[in-house]
Structure 1
């Protein structure tokens, strides 16, 4: 049975885990990333990457790579399929409080690969499922399914919506919104791609989006509240494709054709879950030398398109605080301490740094989560009064809200107290 000792262990090699690991690496702190699958997971196909996410991607040094691979979206166009007319058009370019706006639909696989490529060899360990967490002095002991044990000074949970680390911290299982999402991804041949626009469609009880990732790739989604009969079909991609096409029958044929061309293997249906807002405010985002990041921290419905973006922000902020606990030069009196005393001093620094991270991210995550939840109720409302209010009164306000919430800068990774690794 293998036994390892690590300074920092990150559970989960998704967007949150790889961003956190790379940010720590840039700041001179090594981490080990544990992933239960045998390769990088690319579930979800693509994600809308807003201005705040590009700030974070630039901070870890992969923004330029991903820009070359994806189109910048120029406009958000909203269409009511009930009224059968366009209800708003908003430019996605221009300047906000934190600089130039930037929106692209990024393929999840390319983002993960870009992050992983920048990590030192040996940072990721696949087929490593954590089955138990125990305390041992100032450390945590992780027990893996293969019998391996890992002793670590810091444990970071980036293990998604069903996070074991979040459960250890006391968080309850994420709540079901009552809605599902169908996601699809299609690779096109020739030059029949979409214009660089985010096309939003609203109908009676559903919301959909169709947007290009690049000149030959289109991503689409549909969120709705399924009937009991439809719930029984969510594991059948072919049925879900038929359902999406039937609900979107009034969508322009040239746009609907992208859904029609999507292969069944490239369709995924999943429930939408979220963390209750009072848990975000009162729960243990960090406890002792353990914390959570990304969906393990703040799972949310995609109505603002901010889940992945906030995970990127989390990774930058956490790394910036945590690096202080490892890279600050010790005072003379600390150098003269014995090893146990030094370990206690560093442990206190680690605990303090995680508390700073939790304090800074709590309000941002609360704001985005609450706004996303309320926005989902409004955008997908099937009552006549709600739908009328959405389509007649709110289209421009709701579109501008997307830009407002993404106009945020999580900051850079450079700090005078430690050296940055290029």
Structure 2
């Protein structure tokens, strides 16, 4: 496999910041309110449950990354090397589409918070601001990975500080406004039971997806696969802690039954308790930085995935165009931006996140199977998954449950996409052949 061009080397803390930038912006500032709207106080369990699964997948990615340290395509590269081009092609396109769709969801959160700050009402303003953000950050990505990563680490430090201020302020505001009541944690009847928790978990899964951004830059991380593995696990664990604290803080201020599906839940909660304008502006500024850095990371990740698919000759050479000096696949960035803009018009934040999740869940499932494949063939790297194969089996079962629990329309879209990709793959394969191949499956 061809090495990634460029010489930029980033430290483990900076790589962790890349993962945090993608994870935190996608979840805390955008989907935390949606999770509460779906499952009430049980959203806490959803974040913990999915966080545990994300840690399991993260350590598995650490091992897979150590086996293939030069891979840039995350789950695609693992699938391609384990199971060949057919399944690799399908998983690669699904994964790429998931990341490109994630750009829309996170950018929509940015647009919603900016509209809130500017006191602009209406559905068009968030979309307009989201399009502007995608355009600007595409240019930042084209500048190059090292500068993008450094910008991300700076933004992450600021937004973690702002989140800490939000959590402390939430306790004080809830106390002085009189909303501090344990009844806030009692949701409505529709928020009770197993199915709402499953629905919230599916939404939340999107919130943790950003850690794959680290696996696409493994060879750029100091320490290689081991360094990338540490960065992946650190980013997931730190994110889970902040997720739980923010969910708790939100329900201290607002009853669980009052939350609705929206892309700016922290702003909604502060308005509900009539927070001082200074806190409102500070938190919204943090939300804008968080969603901007998460969008930046997703553009970076998606462009590298499609580059790797093309590098393995499964897509036209058009996508292999890169800038050697800046270490960036230019055409991949442009395509990701265009898809990100188009998906802004596909529905509300939950639908967009669910569409993105389908490809992620499938890719994680196949990646777990790829780890089993490599272990059976005695291929190991410098980092090994602890408690193998037990936690790998657990991840497979949990992923299957989440896939089957997805909204019906998302499953329909996903299955149609898989069928189209399968037909396209075989059409391209047979079109290149001089004669038809007839395989004998049974003797």
- Larger RCO (CA within 8 A; separation ≥ 6): 2
Query: Which has the larger helix fraction?
Result: 2
TM-score above 0.5: no
TM-score, L = length of structure 1? 0.27
